[in-house]
Amino acid sequence: MNLWRYIAKRLLLMVPTLFGILLVTFMVIQFVPGGPVEQLARELRGAQVGEMVTTNTGFYRASGGLDADRLAELKTLYGFDKPAYQRFGDMIWRYLHFDLGESFYHHQSVGSLVVSKLPVSMSLGLWTFFLTYLISIPLGIRKAVRDGSAFDVATSTLLLVGYAIPGFVLGVALLVLFGGGSFLEVFPLRGLVSDNWNELDWPARIADYLWHMVLPVTASVVGSLAVMTLLTKNTFLEQIRSQYVLTARAKGVSENRILYKHVFRNAMIPLITGFPSAFIGAFFSGSLLIETIFSLDGLGLLSYDAVVKRDYPVVMGTLYLFTLIGLVARLLSDLCYVWVDPRLRFDSVGG
DSSP characters for 94-158? HHHTT---B-TTTSSBHHHHHHHHHHHHHHHHHHHHHHHHHHHHHHHHHHHHTTTSHHHHHHHHH
Residues 29 and 174 in one domain: no
Q: Average per-residue pLDDT in the chain? A: 80
Looking at residue 325, which CATH number applies to its domain? 1.10.3720.10
Asked whether the predicted pLDDT for residue 296 surpasses 70, the reply is: yes
**Domain-embedded: residue 91:** no
**Domain-embedded: residue 327:** yes
DSSP for 253-296, written as a single string:
--HHHIIIIIIHHHHTHHHHHTHHHHHHHHHH---HHHHHHTT-
Which of 42, 60, 80 represents a domain boundary (last residue)? 80
Which of 58, 80, 102 represents a domain boundary (last residue)? 80
pLDDT tens digits, one per residue of 90-145: 999 999 888 888 888 888 899 899 888 888 888 888 888 889 889 999 999 999 98
**Domain-embedded: residue 90:** no
Residues 187 and 133 in one domain: yes
**Domain-embedded: residue 212:** yes
Residues 36 and 156 in one domain: no
DSSP letter for 343, please: T
Asked whether the predicted pLDDT for residue 225 surpasses 50, the reply is: yes
Residue bearing the bigger pLDDT, 144 or 346: 144
Residues 76 and 211 in one domain: no
Residues 68 and 136 in one domain: no
Out of 50-59, 138-147, 186-195, 236-245, the most confident range is 138-147
Residues 199 and 322 in one domain: yes
**Domain-embedded: residue 124:** yes
**Domain-embedded: residue 270:** yes
- CA dihedral 330→336→337→338, nearest 10 degrees, is 120
54 sits in which H/E element: strand 52-55
Residue bearing the bigger pLDDT, 336 or 44: 336
Residues 39 and 125 in one domain: no
**Domain-embedded: residue 229:** yes
List, in sequence order, every residue forming a beta bridge with 59; answer none if it has no partner. Answer: 54
How many angstroms separate the CA atoms of 231 and 140, rounded? 8
Residues 147 and 261 in one domain: yes
Residues 149 and 278 in one domain: yes
Asked whether the predicted pLDDT for residue 317 surpasses 70, the reply is: yes
Q: What angle do CA 187, 193, 194 make, to 5 degrees?
A: 80
How many angstroms separate the CA atoms of 206 and 122, rounded? 16
Contact criterion met (CB below 8 Å) for 349 and 273: no
Which of 80, 100, 132 represents a domain boundary (last residue)? 80
pTM for the whole thing? 0.75
Residue 180, domain extent:
110-348
**Domain-embedded: residue 143:** yes
Residues 30 and 117 in one domain: no
What's phi and psi for 149, nearest 5 deg?
-80, 175
Residues 58 and 127 in one domain: no
Give the N- to C-terminal CA distance of the chain in Å, as an integer. Answer: 12
List, in sequence order, every residue forming a beta bridge with 102; answer none if it has no partner. Answer: 109
Residues 285 and 180 in one domain: yes
* Count of domains forming the chain: 2
Nearest to 324 by CA among 98, 94, 69, 3: 98
Q: Tell me the one-letter amino acid at 303.
A: S
Q: Which of 19-23, 61-65, 170-174 shows the lowest mean pLDDT across its residues?
A: 61-65
